[in-house]
Copies of this chain bind each other. A is one copy, B any other.
Amino acid sequence: MQITEIEGGVCAPKGFKANGVHCGIRKNKLKKDFALIVSEVRAAAAGVYTQNLVKGAPVTVTRRHLADGYARAIVVNSGNANTCNADGEEIAESMCKMVEKVSGIPSGDVAVASTGVIGQKLDLSPMKDHIGELYSGLGFNSDAAAEAIMTTDTVKKQIAAEFEVGGVRCRIGGIAKGVGMVCPNMATNLIFITTDVAITPAMLQKALSEDVKSSFNMVSVDGDQSTNDTCCVLANGLAGNALIDGDGEDFRAFCAALNHCTVKLSKMLAKDGEGATKLVECKVVGAVGVEQARTVCKSVIKSSLVKAAMFGSDANWGRVLCAIGYSGADVDVHKIDVAFISRAGRVDVCKNGYGIDFSEELAKSVLSEDEVTVLIDLRSGESSATAWGCDLTYDYVKINGDYRT
């Protein structure tokens, strides 16, 4: 299956336009804070959401609007999460109605998302004042939308790819944000994906629900599962392929393209983790099942001590073993091998659960790269999994020590 990356983000698929502007929820005028993505035609829609019991009001509203399997637009603000506010749902509905007013798209076909501080009232007036500007500027502006959903993110996260379904060229694109309060369980922070593939809502939801298990759900920046995690996909069918309405080759082709994009976005999210200086990938092989592999690699990627050691480029593999041991997975600790791998090479540090001699110099150079893989071989089966995280740095503490001011 050939998947070719292309430009354009969420605007790469046919019939999608986007925009992002500064409306004033954020005080810094250079920071865009209001985004809109619109499909020319009604699109099949699927979503996965946070499992946190404390849910942002927009999560509840989006879930309701996507319940019929269709949507046409996504409206998003940054700077305020609209969570733990007594009037939160009303505010989120009003954001959708604003979109209806300027575009004619029924508010029930609009998904809504918010990200920022929890528990502060979200004032609608800045958005009311700028919805016209936001709508009239819709175009090939995935860049602007990707920028407008950023909070403490330092780089925009976009991806787009071309692939074939039944001989027909299709496109998929996505934008994402979220570098703190990142430890998703069903989805991560805000991710919006567009595609011109023709697919039924049920198959789109099936593809997405399965996909996040190996993509966004395998990312952890700080182990804190956000209240507002939302991942939405709109599929408008304008590519003209034969409608995907069941399993088979076409569905698999779409799933592969989706996973290509979601894994890339996952790595972008992890690498831009708050304060991070490097992407840490943990790959577990030789597990007795995928669940075991996932449990082990998430435990390692979440360990504060492993993360701090990565910051110091310190080959403290004992902390990796420790995190495997408390993960809850029933592993045979006397079979575990561990190696660190990066562009600079590979260093084996542990065999059969015991330390082995290795070159500290080589280890230092391997770990000093900005992308490091912790390879764990459980030597007990055939299953594998990969998780992505980042190092724990002074800047994480700085960013989060006084986030509200």
A312 within 8 Å of B (CB atoms)? yes
A-side interface mostly: loop
Contacts of A322 in B (CB 8 A): 52, 54, 118, 181, 224-227
Indicate which residue in B53, B393, B403 contacts A331 across the interface (CB closer than 8 Å). Answer: B53
Rounded to whole Å, the gap between the CB of A396 and the closest CB of chain B is 7
What is the bound-complex CA distance between A180 and B316, given in angstroms? 14
Known A-B contacts A54-B353, A84-B350, A402-B314; A321 and B224 likewise in contact (beta carbons under 8 Å)? no
Known A-B contacts A227-B321, A354-B84, A397-B311; A305 and B180 likewise in contact (beta carbons under 8 Å)? yes
A137 within 8 Å of B (CB atoms)? no
A355 within 8 Å of B (CB atoms)? yes
A28 within 8 Å of B (CB atoms)? no
Known A-B contacts A84-B353, A321-B84, A394-B397; A54 and B333 likewise in contact (beta carbons under 8 Å)? yes
* Residue of B whose beta carbon sits closest to that of A398: B394
Contact at B400–A397, with CB atoms within 8 Å? Answer: no
Rounded to whole Å, the gap between the CB of A63 and the closest CB of chain B is 16
Contact at B354–A304, with CB atoms within 8 Å? Answer: no
* Residue of B whose beta carbon sits closest to that of A392: B397
Rounded to whole Å, the gap between the CB of A379 and the closest CB of chain B is 15
Contact at A318–B51, with CB atoms within 8 Å? Answer: no
Contacts of A354 in B (CB 8 A): 84-86, 119
Contact at B396–A308, with CB atoms within 8 Å? Answer: yes
Rounded to whole Å, the gap between the CB of A231 and the closest CB of chain B is 17
Interface string of A366-401 (1 = CB under 8 A from B): 000000000000000000000000001110111111
* Residue of B whose beta carbon sits closest to that of A405: B314
Contacts of A304 in B (CB 8 A): 222-224, 304, 396, 400
A317 within 8 Å of B (CB atoms)? yes
Most buried by B among A51, A314, A322, A354: A322
Rounded to whole Å, the gap between the CB of A123 and the closest CB of chain B is 14
Contact at B397–A81, with CB atoms within 8 Å? Answer: no
Contact at B397–A308, with CB atoms within 8 Å? Answer: yes
Rounded to whole Å, the gap between the CB of A127 and the closest CB of chain B is 20
Interface string of A341-374 (1 = CB under 8 A from B): 0000000001001110000000000000000000
Interface string of A225-246 (1 = CB under 8 A from B): 1110000000000000000000
Indicate which residue in B183, B323, B330, B404 contacts A316 across the interface (CB closer than 8 Å). Answer: B404
Contacts of A405 in B (CB 8 A): 314
Chain A positions 199-257 with a Cβ under 8 Å from a chain B Cβ:
222-227
Most buried by B among A84, A227, A316, A321: A84
Contact at B119–A318, with CB atoms within 8 Å? Answer: yes
A161 within 8 Å of B (CB atoms)? no
A115 within 8 Å of B (CB atoms)? no
* Residue of B whose beta carbon sits closest to that of A120: B355
A319 within 8 Å of B (CB atoms)? yes
A309 within 8 Å of B (CB atoms)? yes
What is the bound-complex CA distance between A286 and B354, given in angstroms? 47
Contacts of A185 in B (CB 8 A): 326
Rounded to whole Å, the gap between the CB of A36 and the closest CB of chain B is 26
A8 within 8 Å of B (CB atoms)? no
Contacts of A180 in B (CB 8 A): 305
Known A-B contacts A119-B350, A326-B185; A402 and B303 likewise in contact (beta carbons under 8 Å)? no
A3 within 8 Å of B (CB atoms)? no
What is the bound-complex CA distance between A75 and B289, given in angstroms? 41
A324 within 8 Å of B (CB atoms)? yes
**Which residues of A line the B interface, CB within 8 A?**
51-55, 81, 83-86, 117-121, 180-181, 183, 185, 222-227, 302-305, 308-309, 311-312, 314, 316-319, 321-326, 330-331, 333, 350, 353-355, 392-394, 396-405
10 residue pairs bridging A and B, Cβ less than 8 Å apart: A118-B321, A119-B354, A227-B321, A304-B396, A308-B396, A308-B397, A309-B401, A311-B401, A312-B401, A392-B397
